[in-house]
Amino acid sequence: MQDFTIKVVRIVKITNETPHAKTFVLEFLDESQPVYKPGQFLTLVFYTRHGEKRRSYSISSSPALNEPLSITIKKVENGEFSRMLLSHARAGDQLYTSGISGLFQLPGNLNNALQYFFIAAGSGITPCFSMLKTILATAQSKMVLIYSNRSEEETIFYNQLKKLQEIYPGRLTIRFLFSVIFDVEQSRLSSRLLQKFLDELLTVPAKDALFYVCGPFDYMRTVNITLLGRVPPQNIFKENFNALPRLIVPKPPDTMAHFVTIHINNQVHRLPVQYPSTILAVAKLHKIELPYSCEAGRCGSCIATCTSGKIWMAYNEVLTDDELERGRVLVCQSFPVEGDVEIVF
């Protein structure tokens, strides 16, 4: 079982990427550096006067290159913690984390896909950058990156990406889009422009290519709708860190109280759970430490496996049909139905 206890990390180095984004090199103080996969994220835990809050930040380093664990953060307007970290954090400072998670990952055999498309906007490049470097270093597949920003100056990893394109001219193709340019072919990504890029750059049948999308909600929705017209749904992967809470919690078919047995960190907890309180909400009420971040069914930090009983989820923007069949659930959206259940982290 994975250990989800809160751990301490120290900031080793901070690198300015753009005027509004920085990369933080981190080291775990109480253990060796954890194993992670390209595309995953680290959830930081902040203790404030209003209680505990969590934010997830994508890992930009590549384990295949033995790079030190790094996260890249862009300042978000009215973003409480991104502004604090960018303005006040220094090398040597310590942070708290609930660990690494995320299903925005590459396939087990990278050469199974003949071509990879990465479609990113702003800080959405961060997990894509980790995956892109990994593929270049360990596989032979070709890649396309379509990357949208306001300007060259505000483009995270711009120089590193240009350098990689020079080193791998036959494998990596990049289309930079800058909204300050007064040309629809070079500014904002639209459905029409994405179709044009697909016609030009997709060199294999769509079923043999994988597509990874990360960026603002509206951007990702446009990209997803466009891709679904040409690409099998199972070939499209999305990362979403939208932390806006759900305004409506749908009612499960069974609103009676049932017991939930939770296996985590070599401990077992048995709690009564009843709508409208989710499994996560009840665990937090009892001071039981479960992994979580967005609490909206979008990020995947709180994934567990239901080994007994039946769970109903209000929302799910992360788990695939295959994962659902294997009993995977998001505890921030989960309610026990038709009897008691058992879950394992």
The closest alpha carbon to 311, from 276, 274, 272, 337, belongs to 337
CA atoms within a 13 Å half-sphere pointing along the CA-CB vector of 228 = 8
Residues with Cβ within 8 Å of 45's Cβ and at least 6 positions away in sequence, in order, are 6, 52, 53, 54, 96, 97, 98
Pick the CATH number of 258-344 from 3.10.20.30, 3.40.30.160, 3.40.50.20, 1.10.645.10: 3.10.20.30
Residue 1 pLDDT exceeds 80: no
Which tokens go with 250?
């749908």
Write the pLDDT tens digit of every residue in 216-255. Answer: 989 999 999 999 999 999 999 998 766 566 777 899 999 9
The average confidence (pLDDT) of the chain is 94
Residues paired with 210 in a beta bridge: 116
Residue type, 219: Y
Task: Tell me if the domain spanning 110-239 has CATH number 3.40.50.80.
Answer: yes
- Note the CATH architecture for domain 7-101: Beta Barrel (2.40)
Over residues 146-159, mean pLDDT? 98
Over residues 306-324, mean pLDDT? 94
pLDDT (0 to 100) of residue 31: 67
Task: Give the integer Cα–Cα distance in Å for 71 and 304.
Answer: 24
Residue 33 pLDDT level (bands cut at 50, 70, 90)? confident
Q: Range(s) for CATH 3.40.50.80 in the chain?
A: 110-239
Q: H/E/C letters for each residue in 138-192?
A: HCCCEEEEEEEECCCCCCCCHHHHHHHHHHCCCCEEEEEEECCCCCCCCCCCCHH
Q: Could you tell me the CA-to-CA distances from 33 to 115, 165, 167 in Å, in that order? A: 31, 30, 29
Write the pLDDT tens digit of every residue in 180-193. Answer: 998 888 899 999 99
Residue 30 pLDDT level (bands cut at 50, 70, 90)? confident
Residue 47 pLDDT exceeds 80: yes
Write the pLDDT tens digit of every residue in 262-314. Answer: 999 999 999 999 999 999 999 999 999 999 988 989 888 999 999 999 999 99
- % of the chain exceeding 70 in pLDDT: 97
Over residues 154-158, mean pLDDT? 98
Q: Could you tell me the CA-to-CA distances from 290 to 5, 32, 103, 114, 279 in Å, in that order? A: 8, 22, 18, 38, 10
Q: Is the pTM of this model over 0.85?
A: yes
Residue 173 pLDDT exceeds 70: yes
Residue position matching structure tokens 């016609």: 199
pLDDT (0 to 100) of residue 24: 98
Q: Range(s) for CATH 2.40.30.10 in the chain?
A: 7-101
Q: Range(s) for CATH 3.10.20.30 in the chain?
A: 258-344
Residue 209 pLDDT exceeds 80: yes
